[in-house]
Chain A
Amino acid sequence: MPLKLILQLSARNLFRYPRRNGLLLLAIAFALAGATFTNALMRGWQYDMLDRAVENLVGHVKVQTEEYRDDPNMLHSFALPQGYQPEISGVAIAGWAPRINVPAVLLSERESRGVQLVGIDPQREDISFYADLNIVGENLSGTADGRIVLGQELARQLQTSVGRKVVVLAQGADGKNRERGFRVAGLFDAQAESLEKAVAFTGLATAQAYLGGSPQAGSEGLVTEISVLLADEPQRLEAVDSLGSEFPDKLVADWRTLQPQAAEMFALADMGIYIIFLFMMGGLAFGLVNTLIAAVMERVRELGMLRAIGMPRRVVLMQVVVESMLIMIVGIVLGLAAGILSVAALADGIDLSAFAEGIDAFGMSALLIPVLSTKDLVMFSSLSLLLGLVASIFPALRAVRITPLMAMNR
């Protein structure tokens, strides 16, 4: 097949109807740019949701006791082995943190609220949202810090402030209720009220002493969870297997198991991306078919002449297909370039703080940073090419059916 000839003819035919082909190119480029930009926003939201789910004290993988899942309190804590460091063959670990995470009641002079009391090692919490919190007052200085950090909204509800004392009431490892006074070290702003009123932090060693009693020999005290953040999220299942072998009597689960709602939203976003793309490109396909048919019908005489002088049908078919593919390729390149540039222009993120309360319900941050995925761009390009190919088949078959006599009789 004279491929070079087909390419030459097809390339020149692109410039033959500059207005029509220009409009078609614009339509393809606009659809691709729109799909790329929308995709980047959705991926941005999706990854933000993932980060928030993971950073929301979950991590990619978590070790807990089976019983803790159903009844999260210190009765279902476990001893953290002395000098423990998670090591997973072939999986890079970005960080890990042991915690106590139990329900408690906070009392101020005026109000009381139910919260999650979380005992942390502040130096290890760069794997969670804790590291990014804006804290008014002071941060916890270390695991033995006996003060407490509250959310701004919780402090407002309790009518307390930095430097004042609150009382925490929680169940200890022995099943008995214990209470302890904590001075408020700082108030954090999470830009999400739900988080600010639900969690209070103190030092891990302080929480262990308060709720767990003296540590057993060979252990670093009781914890309710070990949270692990991986360098690469898709390796989470390998990490689950490995940690499962290390802690055979514990429940080791990934974030998708621990946060099924977030996992479903993540999957929904995936599907949404494909659906939006298919709608955008599907609409375009009709325009493409229509334009290509018009292009074929305008050239009946020429195509008939080509058939008369001996151009085989398959070459005529190839010519129409290659022509549409060339338009598609140029449109894809222009569209991707425009889409990437528009995303690059918003690389610092879109400030949604004006809608902070509303978007919190969707599990979004106030700053939406668009994310370009090479995999998605490759998929968009491939699907667009496939679409161009499919859209060209009908006009190409019309072209093949043109006979020299039809051409001469026009």
Chain B
Amino acid sequence: MNRIEKVLLMGNPNVGKSVVFSRLTGIHAVSSNYPGTTVDFSQGTVQVNGQNATLIDVPGTYGLEATCKAEQIANTMLDEGDVVVNVVDATNLERNLHLTLHLLEQNIPLIVALNIWDEAKHKGIEIDVAKLEELLGVPVVPTAAVTGEGIKELVSRIPEARNVPSPRRSEEQRWQEMGRIVEAVQSVEHRHHTVLEVLGDISVKPLSGLPIAAMVMVAAFAVIRFIGETLVGWFEGAFEGLWTPLMMRLSGALGASGFLHDIFIGELIEGEIDFVQSFGVLTTGLFVPLAMVLPYVFSFYLILGVLEDFGYLPRLAVLLDKLMHRMGLHGWAIIPTLLGLGCNVPGIMAVRILENRRERFIAATIISIGVPCAALQAMVLDQLGDHGAMYVGIVYVTLFLAWVALGRILDAVLKGESPELLMEIPPYRLPAVRTLGLKLWRRMRGFLKEAVPIVLLGMLVVNVLHYVHVFDYIADFTAPVMTRLFGLPKEAIVAIVLGFLRKDVGVGMLGTLGLSAKQMVVSVTVLAMSFPCIATFVILAKELGVRDMLKSVIIMLAAALAAGTTLNFIL
């Protein structure tokens, strides 16, 4: 056989391709227990015959008819690959064979990974692997990617992949062939429903599912809050015990005032460093992302990861399908929305799973307006929580109402219809700690690498501009809106502009202005709804195109103006 340079990993959606991918390459592709996690293809390196080959994780497809974008991509990639590793869900052999038969008809060597093998055994499904090999004419290796079982054998047998000349079949012939193969190789032992299956069924029925969804959401929020708050306490302690002495020494060395001191240490409050109020690059600039936001990013993604890997999100999508339809979307759109609660950037990237441009526009716009990211929420909980839970509640309710109202308005205004739901619901699975941990680590690392530098840079720029009094001009210019419409001091504009870099820093700045509870509610809401932060901005332009992104921004500004003014006059 010739040298293998490109290996394609192909299979139906949600058969664990991404887990196989990360096992083969050591690269940790994000996987979740719902179809469509891999919207883009990712690639890595795998050793075949002691030589490096490129492994490409192709988006999941059911067939090769090019009826949707993923299938078109898969078709194009087929021309470039040398070998296909077809990942097949052993618990669902018959339907998965549809793609396998399609692949056999192509002119490319094939090897089958019979994945989720462990779960198939548990379910009482027996598959005669030798017989399946014989009938398909290509190597078949049972694997359980989550535990790593069978992966070594799979790699070592990639060179054995064969191209069996088989005639092009009609769709009808394929289904007959699939039935024949399954009949010959599979036997299913009858057994009772497992607890997880019963739980799965009751959580997609309206009468039992909605109360379950409400409980899951409340519990998730409570646990995120609890873990977040506990960690914030620890991190605050660590900062005060370890960092404060060092910074005080630096402050002394810089002479307790002056340009450098103002920028790096910030303003001393009664002779002491106040990590929230001082606003220096090395004080507040490190404290906000690391001690106040990071704990919440961690606890949010931990809980989201558990819900994702357990398989709850597709069920939530079914339950909320009706509500989402009123906003021109279908239930699927809840998944980008929940991702947006962590960070708007992955949330908006995930709108790609929606079918058409109209849906993607609506979803991206209402996410960037009405869905506060974890960093923003952490700061709001901290800064507004002191005034009372009621005020935090007002912010959340306002954002939720804005999210629904804008969705409904956009649905009414934009031409076109919302497509219907067509989604596979995976079985509930107990999350594997390793996969969960890797995913959490990847998301945390993303935050540390991308958010922290922007926070530091933002603080630096703001402090320099502040020092040279640039903000005074802006504040005078926007004063009418700030004071008359929003009832805020004119300096609040600085925080809102700062929110363009990072929302969490924006809220931190508001905390230094000595606002009343009501003013805090108004300004935080305006901050959350107005301009997306710069990272979201970039991703909006990328996903929607510049024109639609500008439209989206105009909607944001109008919505923020309306919400801020309304809150100011009714509170």
A binds B: no
Q: Which residues of B contact A (CB under 8 A)?
A: none
Q: Which residues of A contact B (CB under 8 A)?
A: none
